[in-house]
Amino acid sequence: MTDIARRRRTIPTQLAALAIGVSEATIRKWASRGKLTRYGRPGRAEYDLDELYALAESLAEGR
């Protein structure tokens, strides 16, 4: 990463689930368990795309 802070790319729950091939319930469960950071505002959850990919990669390596 450069000296300039990385701009967070967030996507809503439905797209987050589609991006890594899990259900929306799984995304919400991971967020409630602290595996993912929830962004957005009440009623509009969003998740960081890079964080999602990193989590999916670490889960795939653990299989």
Question: How far is residue 55's CA from residue 63's CA, in Å, rounded to a whole number?
Answer: 13
Q: Does an H or E element contain 13, and which?
A: helix 13-20
Burial grade of 44 (CB within 10 A; 0-12, 13-18, 19 or more): exposed
Q: How many CA atoms lie within 13 A of 10 on its CB side?
A: 13
State pLDDT tens for residues 2-42.
Answer: 545 678 899 999 999 999 999 999 999 999 999 999 999 99
What is the pTM (predicted TM-score) of this model?
Answer: 0.82
